[in-house]
Amino acid sequence: MPIQLNPRLLSWAPDLEDSARDQAVNTSKLPFLAGHVALMPDAHWGMGATVGSVIPTEGAIVPAAVGVDIGCGMIAARTDLTSHDLPDDLDRLHAMIGEGIPHGAGQQHDDGRSIPPTNGASVALTHRLFDKAQHQMGTLGGGNHFVEVCLDELDRVWIVLHSGSRGVGKELAEVHIDKAKGLMKSYFIDLPDPDLAYLAEGTPEFADYIGDMLWAQRYAMRNREQMLMAAHEAFDDFLGRGVVIEDVINCHHNFTEREHHRGRNVWLTRKGAIRARTGDRGVIPGSMGAASYIVSGLGNPASYDSCSHGAGRRMSRAKAFATFTADSLIEAMAGKAWNGAGEAADLVDEHPGSYKDIDEVMANQADLVTVEHTLHQILNLKGKDDRNRRRRKGRR
């Protein structure tokens, strides 16, 4: 059950760290807040606003609260396969998926891809960014983005994928975040946190942001669809036969939409949260090596029809590098096809121990979702982040 932290802040996270609590309290003080801020059970400190926060606003939007990976989310597909259709060794399948889906920071396809029409997008979507968007369509990125192959409780094979709007979404977000901060300075508006800089509805800056944000959300959804197709083709080639996709769920967890809640039309920002209206289906992943969940929403009005987006970090990436080792990650991933020992040192920040326990997160949101399927990984593909290599070199 949620905890009332103040009259405008409701939390499903029992283990909220002080920095995240302070950040969420600042958000709850926004004058254009249309209700309370709802913190999901995976909530933790984030850039701009607390990851795992649901923020209803009237008359303004905080671009940094949406985040820099606009439209980031999950796609999951159930196939007609069971574990008996797969060999014990999936290393070749891992390599084939990696060949079909460029992964890692800055990775691109050689050929330009079809992307959503740019109707409504602002001049911030330059020719350079448009070209970047075409070449990054169908690519994974780095950080916590991944492709997994999982088995459910009935031994059925699922493809699960996490990614967003790639470099173009990040650059568009940064343009508008900087613009909002500049406006605050020009209007002499003091905020408890500069990252809470906002754009007022009815202004050209607001309209430009909405156009670019909605475009980036469409781009992110199509990006996941393209990668699912590539993973599907890898399965076909690996098994030498056509694999049937029987069910697909594609959902954002970094986005804003116009929604009606508690008798008001609001802009509802979900940063690290999934929409979970009654019957809405979502994908909630754990950390590397942990379980993931296919869920159905319960439509809880107190959470604005929302639920968690994953396990949520329990420590920063820098602290994870200082706490865990490549050897401990290798041990945690034993028995799974994954990037392997050769890349373990660059993936230590994704160590399962750096995330909250996904089973505890799920227990803390029993009033937000019901579990349809529990998925266990047998293959995990992650994109390396070059920043990790620089971090490790800096400590030598």
Stated length of the chain: 396
pLDDT at 391 over 80: no
Domain range for 317 is 3-394
Catalytic residue among 44, 103, 162, 309: 309
Q: What percent of the chain has pLDDT over 70?
A: 97
Which pLDDT score, from 0 to 100, does residue 383 have? 84
pLDDT score of 48: 79
> How far apart (Å, rounded) are the C-alpha atoms in residues 52 and 75?
19
For the chain, how many structural domains are there in total? Answer: 1
pTM of this prediction? Answer: 0.95
pLDDT at 384 over 80: no
User: Which CATH number belongs to the domain containing residue 361 in this structure?
Assistant: 3.90.1860.10
For residue 394, is pLDDT > 50? no
Residue that has been written with the tokens 């889906």 in this structure:
101
pLDDT at 393: 45
Strand partners, 337: 379
Q: How far apart are CA 229 and CA 113, in angstroms?
A: 13
Helix residue ranges per DSSP H, the chain: 18-28, 63-66, 91-100, 127-136, 166-186, 204-239, 317-323, 326-332, 341-344, 358-363, 386-394
Please state, in angstroms and rounded to a whole number, the distance separating the CA atoms of residues 216 and 219. Answer: 5
Please state the rounded mean pLDDT for residues 206-231.
Answer: 98
How far apart CA 13 and CA 387 sit, in angstroms, is: 30
Question: How far from each other are the two terminal CA atoms of the chain, in whole angstroms?
Answer: 46
User: Looking at residue 350, what is its pLDDT?
Assistant: 94
Given a cut of 80, whether residue 209 has pLDDT beyond it is yes
- Stronger pLDDT, 392 or 361, i.e. the higher one: 361
Q: What is the C-alpha radius of gyration for the chain, rounded to an integer number of angstroms?
A: 20
294-318: per-residue pLDDT in tens?
Answer: 999 999 999 999 999 999 999 999 9
For the stretch 79-118, pLDDT in tens is: 999 999 999 999 999 999 999 999 998 999 999 999 999 9
Long-range contacts of 187-195 (CB under 8 A, 24+ apart): 191/26, 192/26, 192/29, 193/23, 193/26, 195/47, 195/48, 195/49, 195/62, 195/64
Do residues 196 and 27 touch, judged by C-beta distance below 8 A? yes
Ramachandran category for residue 155: left, alpha or beta (phi over 0 → left; psi -120 to 50 → alpha): left
The structure tokens 């807040």 sit at 33
pLDDT at 389 over 60: no
- In this prediction, residues 18-29 reach a mean pLDDT of 97
Mean pLDDT computed over 229-243: 98
376 is a catalytic site residue: no
